[in-house]
Chain A
Amino acid sequence: MKVLVGVKRVVDPNVKVRVKADGSGVETANIKMAINPFCEIAVEQAVRMKEAGVVTEIVVVSVGLPQCQETLRTAMAMGADRGILVETDVDVQPLAVAKVMKAIIAKENPQLVIMGKQAVDNDCNQTGQMIAALMGWPQATHISKVEPAGDVANVTREVDGGLESLTIKLPAVVTADLRLNEPRYVTLPNIMKAKKKPLEVIKPDALCVDVAPRLTTLKVVEPAKRGSGVKLADVAELVNKLKNEAKVI
């Protein structure tokens, strides 16, 4: 079975993000970038399935700047077999990525697509769902378990009420949640080997996909600073403040 995994390059989760002075987005120049943690979990899952003999080939795909090659190399150091970078300097949105993935799926014919449930930069949580919709494939989001069995996969989803167990037909799209696995530390020999694994770079035009943004960002601002607290005399005063100042009740 062949698996396709999408990986996104994001600001390293340990870095404190700063809004650009002009409010057009967050600062990413010269900031430490890393593989999106949920994508890392997705890659780890594919690698574990390959180690278990269920998967034969893992192809990782990223859409974005040339530097995304580093992210793909990280995924290959974890154990993916080859990478595809769809290179563009457009700030791609979920729908554009989903269309690119659809075009790659048509070329690669995977049985399973694993995506992170969302990226930690903009928390969209859309791309996996959009891919499934565009392909007309089954989808299982926020999964904490996936076990392919012949032409189906048994999955466990993390839902508000607890866990939901489903059987979905393959090919399908699944999106990884936090508890699916704990990603391994990349080993030094594998970092060295990853350098030699094949990495194909193509442009969206070659896939006949228009990645132009459909949504316009008006403004990005820092969250309002939390003011200092006050001590209230009694519940009546609290209710009064909630009603008239905070206007939440």
Chain B
Amino acid sequence: MSTYAAPLKDMQFVIEELVGLADITAMPACAEVTPDLVEAVLGEAGKFAAEVLDPLNRVGDEVGAAWSDGKVTPPPGFAGAYQQFIDAGWNSLSGPTEFGGQGLPHIVAMAVQEMWNSANMAFCLCPMLTSGVIEALKLRGSDAQKNLFMGKLVAGEWSGTMNLTEPQAGSDLSAVRTQAVPEGNHYLIRGTKIFITWGEHDMSRNIVHLVLARTPGAPEGVKGISLFVVPKFLPNGDGSPGARNDVKCVSIEHKLGIHASPTCVMAYGENGGAIGYMVGEENRGLETMFIMMNHARLGVGLEGVAIAERAYQHALDYAKTRVQGRAIGQRSGDRVSIIHHPDVRRMLMSMKSQIEAMRALAYTASAALDKAKHHPDDNERKRNQAYVDLLIPIVKGWCTEQAIEIASTGVQIHGGTGFIEASGAAQYLRDARITAIYEGTTGIQAADLVGRKIGFEKGATAAAVIAQMRKDVWGLTQNAHAGVTALHAALSRAVEALAQATKWVVDQFPADPNAVAAVSVPYLKLWGIVAGGWLMGRAAELCAGKLAADATDADFCETKIATARFYVEHVLPQAPALAEEIIGGAASVLEFGEARF
């Protein structure tokens, strides 16, 4: 069984050099975030992830969360780890400083969250949901609500949940039916919410539920949904948890993966009504949810990176230690570990190269988010916001779909052993599966990409990003390192494939949105593959520069260039094929009517 080691070297390279930490530190709001601080934070987080969270991952899967009479018990060790987690202050990493948070930027939070997710994704979902509630209250909460909840949530003393889904309202939230009836200074909430992650547990002293519901007479559809904060225990005047609210967990789901994370069915108002307080304006709840969901989607994309990294480390450990057969062409002599077999090496490389490309893209998006928030120049803020808005569905959709494939390759490397649960490889595949579903399925991400992010603005932001890609890819031809110039041809073909497909999407979208929808997922995948390749090319270029300057980091730099080469030769060739599918493949979907199935 492998143990997790945070990929600190690659994380630091991406943050400091590829994304450019200097640009972040240059913004007054992030002046504190120097490379030595990043190194110290990442180093300690890596230790905590490896020593506290990773060892609980198996037991979390095997035992899972348990429900009994409305109470949910987390797997053994989880409550203790949660206490350690909040005692060490990790919950407060990106929380606002006025409520006791450390206010560190997304780029640091991303890397740290990657570690938590690699080590124990099911555990990590609890603090992740809490940070979603913090974000929503920061955005739209009243001062009274902030004072009541924020400090406790930032510290992790109380945790948070998101209550959107109902049996009839999944991807289509306009169908939400939960009722909120005004009574005095609060509302009474009645209804059933499903798929509520960490909706009930005893690791934190209180749980703060954010609930979407309708007020009486609210308009039909998405414009009639409001947001409410509903605490499990109603806070007393001094802020301590008081009387139990009328909300309970009536069951938890039996799932394919993330067994340690209780997925709850929540019943509100079975005894008259759960007391809730409106957050923000009436009927504008979904708007708040969507702003927050943008962050959450980036976070789930990162889960893909994280689980893929863990699956890779697990498979690599096995490939290095499992001895089987002789090297091809050798009839005698010692048997070798399977990493000596070319096909196993190819599988490991496909995992490694895609993970590094995914990490580069996810961290690039989070740096853009920091700049969109903190850049002193208004135009730069706008430009970065558009950039990150474009990248979010790509990071979420592509990184999670690839994570499933990568975790599956991890199982494959183990051979028959991988199919056996005791190997641990299967858990990563099962856990990865949810990431392409929750916070909007890949189909929803693709619809967001071709509609809101490209179609509605006629591809303006996409065109700017593609122009930057062309410029950077052309730059590779000027490089002195032969390994870098060799990346140019395939990358250039891939960028042109993306440009053609984008032109088709922009042209078709107004007249025939159905045709665009039919090939939107391949289009999202094309974006991911090409953007990942673009960043791997830039990474190789930076490494060639470092090699030319001095040889102190030669091992890392040469490995990065070789990894980029693999990506370009084995992953990027999919780009022109995807473009062909996008441009020519819509009709066969649309013409095949429902009756033919």
| Interface residues in chain A, defined as those with a beta carbon under 8 Å from any beta carbon in chain B | 14, 29-30, 32, 34, 69-70, 73-74, 77, 185-192, 194-195
Contacts and interface: CB of A to CB of B under 8 A. Distances in A.
A30 B553 contact: yes
B517 to A, nearest CB: 44
Contacts of A14: 5
Contacts of B102: 188-189, 192
Query: Which A-B residue pairs are the 4 nearest by beta carbons?
Result: A188-B89, A187-B89, A187-B88, A189-B89
A233 B212 CA distance: 79
Given A185-B88, A188-B41, A192-B102, A73 B36 contact: yes
A244 to B, nearest CB: 28
Interface string B30-54: 0010001101110110011001100
Interface in B533-564: 552-553, 555-556
Contacts of A74: 40
Given A70-B40, A195-B37, A185 B555 contact: no
Given A185-B88, A191-B41, 12 more contacts: A29-B552, A30-B552, A30-B553, A30-B555, A30-B556, A32-B9, A70-B36, A185-B48, A185-B52, A187-B89, A190-B89, A191-B40
Contacts of B87: 187
B92 A189 contact: yes
Contact of A188 (B8, B9, B90): B90
Nearest to B85: A185
Interface of B: 5, 8-9, 32, 36-37, 39-41, 43-44, 47-48, 51-52, 84, 87-90, 92-93, 102, 552-553, 555-556
Nearest to A27: B555
Given A70-B40, A191-B41, A195-B37, A186 B88 contact: yes
Contacts of A30: 552-553, 555-556
Nearest to A15: B5
B39 A188 contact: no
B93 A188 contact: yes
Which of A14, A34, A185 has most B Cβ within 10 Å? A185
A14 B6 CA distance: 12
11 contacts: A34-B43, A69-B36, A185-B52, A185-B88, A187-B88, A187-B89, A188-B88, A188-B102, A189-B89, A191-B41, A191-B44
A19 B190 CA distance: 68
Chain A contact surface mostly: helix
Where chain B touches its partner, the secondary structure class is: helix
A186 B552 contact: no
Contacts of A191: 37, 40-41, 44
A185 B44 contact: yes
B549 to A, nearest CB: 13
Nearest to A30: B553
A14 B43 CA distance: 13
A36 to B, nearest CB: 15
A186 B41 CA distance: 9
B92 A188 contact: yes
Contacts of B51: 185
A162 B451 CA distance: 74
Nearest to A189: B89
User: Which of A32, A34, A188: most chain B Cβ within 10 A?
Assistant: A188
Nearest to B3: A14
A39 B515 CA distance: 66
A69 B87 CA distance: 26
Contacts of B32: 192, 195
Contacts of A69: 36
A39 B263 CA distance: 44
A77 B93 CA distance: 16
A34 to B, nearest CB: 8
B100 to A, nearest CB: 9
Contacts of B8: 32
Contacts of B553: 29-30
B15 to A, nearest CB: 16
Contacts of A189: 89, 92, 102
A139 to B, nearest CB: 32
Contacts of B552: 29-30
Contacts of B36: 69-70, 73, 195
A185 to B, nearest CB: 5
Contacts of B43: 34
B106 to A, nearest CB: 16
Contacts of B556: 30
Contacts of A188: 41, 44, 88-90, 92-93, 102
A30 B557 CA distance: 11
Contacts of A192: 32, 37, 102
A131 to B, nearest CB: 28
Nearest to B40: A191
Nearest to A184: B88
Nearest to A12: B43
A56 B556 CA distance: 45
A186 B5 contact: no
A6 to B, nearest CB: 20
Given A30-B556, A32-B8, A185-B47, A73 B40 contact: yes
B341 to A, nearest CB: 23
A189 B93 CA distance: 9
B336 to A, nearest CB: 15
Nearest to A186: B44
B18 to A, nearest CB: 17
Nearest to A32: B8
